[in-house]
């Protein structure tokens, strides 16, 4: 589908998802081994990932401005880069709220969300590895379906988590903080689906 030098854009988009995966792994590890006193270090590590992702995207955008011919529409590259970046930003937002709200313990649903987000990022990586050759790929459509299914699992988990949170409310501060945290977990799942939807849209326009 693309000339040899066009592989640059697919490579950078795939690199963006690598940053998503690093952020998701760090989030899940933080949740599994949660220590409030170590959140400063976690935030620094997460921000380093997010900053590296931003730099990679900006370098690509600078090249894109000067490019005369691109492997797919320029607007599609920009939208895909931004939606991928939104995933990393969303994961960082979860960590920031755990810190800002002085969260002492982790609710079990948070661990489930973390696992779903890691799975989504791994699936996005597999999807992007097929994207440069989507006309011949035998798996990319199924991967997109899998990501959509995982997002639905996130929606279901969100409903269950909020229901459990409000079932026997005792501490209004805990109710508020975990409602906000769960909202951001759910948005992470949504942004992963957004990436899959953009990829699907590009495929539809180019086949």
Q: Can you give the residue ranges of every domain in the chain?
A: 4-205
What's the confidence (pLDDT) of residue 84? 98
The predicted model gives 171-199 an average pLDDT of: 97
Query: SS3 letters for the chain?
Result: CCCHHHHHHHHHHHHHHHHHHHHHHHHHHHHHCCCHHHHHHHHHHHHHHHHHHHHHHHHHHHHHHHCCCCCCCHHHHHHHHHHHHHHHHHHHHHHHHHHHCCCCCCCHHHHHHHHHHHHHHHHHHHHHHHHCCCCCCCCHHHHHHHHHHHHHHHHHHHHHHHHHHHHCCCCHHHHHHHHHHHHHHHHHHHHHHHHHHHHHHHHHHCC
80-97 pLDDT per residue, tens: 999 999 999 999 999 999
Q: How high is the pLDDT of residue 16?
A: 97
- Give the CATH number of domain 4-205: 1.20.58.220
Give the mean pLDDT of the chain. 94
Q: How does residue 1 score in pLDDT terms, banded at 50, 70 and 90?
A: very low
Q: What is the mean pLDDT of residues 158-176?
A: 94
> What percent of the chain shows pLDDT beyond 70?
97
Q: Is residue 102 packed enough to be buried (19+ CB in 10 Å), middle (13-18) or exposed (0-12)?
A: exposed
Considering only 136-140, 178-182, 192-196, which range has the smallest mean pLDDT? 136-140
pLDDT, tens digit, for every residue of 25-72? 999 999 999 999 999 999 999 999 999 999 999 999 999 988 888 889
Query: What is the pLDDT at residue 38?
Result: 94
> What pLDDT, on a 0 to 100 scale, did the predictor assign at position 7?
85
* Rounded Cα gap, residues 151 and 16, in angstroms: 20
Q: State the pLDDT at residue 23.
A: 98
pLDDT band at 170 (very low <50, low <70, confident <90, very high): confident
Q: What is the pTM of this model?
A: 0.94
Of 110 and 5, more confident: 110
């Amino acid at each position: 589908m693309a000339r040899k030098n066009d592989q640059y854009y697919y490579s950078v988009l795939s690199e963006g998802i690598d940053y998503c995966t690093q952020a998701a792994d760090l989030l899940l590890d933080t949740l599994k081994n949660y220590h409030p006193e170590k959140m400063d270090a976690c935030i620094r590590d997460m921000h380093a990932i997010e900053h590296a992702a931003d730099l990679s995207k900006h370098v690509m955008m600078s090249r894109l401005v000067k490019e005369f011919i691109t492997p797919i529409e320029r607007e599609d590259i920009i939208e895909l880069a931004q939606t991928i970046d939104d995933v990393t930003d969303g994961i960082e937002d979860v960590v920031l709220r755990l810190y800002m709200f002085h969260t002492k313990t982790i609710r079990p649903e948070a661990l489930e969300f973390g696992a779903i987000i890691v799975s989504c990022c791994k699936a996005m990586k597999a999807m992007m590895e097929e994207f440069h050759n989507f006309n011949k790929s035998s798996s990319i459509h199924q991967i997109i379906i899998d990501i959509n299914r995982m997002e639905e699992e996130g929606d279901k988990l969100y409903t269950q988590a909020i229901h459990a949170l409000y079932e026997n409310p005792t501490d209004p501060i805990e109710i508020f903080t975990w409602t906000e945290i769960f909202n951001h977990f759910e948005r992470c799942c949504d942004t992963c689906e957004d990436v899959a939807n953009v990829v699907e849209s590009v495929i539809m326009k180019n086949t």
